[in-house]
Structure 1
Amino acid sequence: MTEVQGPTPTGTSRPYRTLAEALRAHRIAEQNHAFITAVTDAIGIASYIDRGRYIEAIRRGEGAALHIGRTYINGFTEGEVIVYGSTRMPMRPSEGRPPYLYVLQPSEFAPAPGAKPKRAAAPRTPAAPKAPKATKVEERDYGVCDVCFMTRTPSGGCGCD
């Protein structure tokens, strides 16, 4: 997970009034909105700023700002634990912001839309015995016509008859 640091590509950084406005502007999947809201409410966020590829969430207290991308939230320290529902979310080391950690949003764990759910394999039944393979029939040569040089049919005829 690598992310570009700093202001937006145009060099501007505009603040958002609410988290909902920021999530809509960055087109983050709606199924992740509840998760992101729960995380930011638990941490305590003072403001949200557009940084181009991610939303920068400035903490009220001490600590690094969170970077909220389409599929991740980055900026957690070693001691922080994210629990969503009853699931403890796995934290991974950040490649772009060491020593911080990041967590993937729940949509990354869900199956792709339109994907068929996996079914358990049906129990195998013993296969019926196979019939022996037929041996290859030897091709016969019926000769070639002396006039038209076509192969003769089994009845002895050709194209010029």
Structure 2
Amino acid sequence: MNEVQGPTPTGTSRPYKSLTEALRGQRIDPVNHDFIRAIVDAVGVSTFIDRGRYIEAIRRGDGAALHIGRTYTNGFTEDEIVVVGGRPLPLAPSEGRAPYFYVTHPSELPSAPAGVARPSRTAGTRAPAKPKSEPRAPKTTPLDERDYGVCDVCFMVKTPSGGCACT
């Protein structure tokens, strides 16, 4: 999980008025909104800033700012325990922001239920992808060549019609 550090690509940053505005502005999957809101409430965040590829969430007290991306939230310390939904979150070491740790959002987890209901799209957005077609049957291999015999005159292999080059 490498993330670009610093201001937005244009060199500017702007504060968001609320977490809801920030999540909408970054186009974060609505399935993750409640999860991110629970993290922000558990940690205590005062300000949200647009950093281009992620939201920088400034904590009220001590601690590093959280970086909220589309698929992760980064900025936890190794000994920090964040409880969401009655269970502690599994933290993984950050590749681009050592010594901090990150948590993957629920929509990206392989153990997420297959039928997770997502909000329907409104007019003006892309149509849903076509369903995958059934897998094709494996190609059949050609049959072994048939033996049509050998010509007694020129010793060439006979064709399926029974002829050869000499007739």
Match for 1:139 among 135, 138, 148? 148
Larger Rg: 1
Residues 42 and 82, structure 2, Cα contact 8 Å, conserved in 1: no
| Paired amino acid for 1:50 | D
TM-score (norm 2): 0.68
Percent of residue pairs identical = 62
Asked if the contact 1:59–1:65 (Cα under 8 Å) also holds between the matched residues in 2, the reply is yes
Displacement of 1:56: 0.3
User: 1:71: how far off?
Assistant: 0.5
Shift of 1:57: 0.3
- Unpaired runs of 5+ in structure 2? 116-128, 133-143
SS in 2 for 1:31: helix
Deviation at 1:89, TM superposition (A): 2.3
Q: Which residue of 1 aligns with 2:47?
A: 47
Q: Supply the distance in 2 between the matched residues of 1:25 and 1:34 (Cα, whole angstroms).
A: 16
Change (3 A) 1:67 1:142: same
Q: Distance in 2 between matches of 1:71 and 1:31?
A: 11
Task: Decide whether aligned partners of structure 1 residues 136 and 56 sit closer, same or farther in structure 2, where only a CA change above 3 A counts.
Answer: closer
Q: Which runs of 4+ in 1 moved over 6 A?
A: 111-116
| Number of equivalenced pairs | 135
1:47 alignment partner, SS class: strand
Gaps of 5+ in 1: 117-134, 145-149
The Cα of 1:153 is off from its aligned counterpart by: 4.5
**More divergent stretch after superposition (106-115 vs 8-17):** 106-115
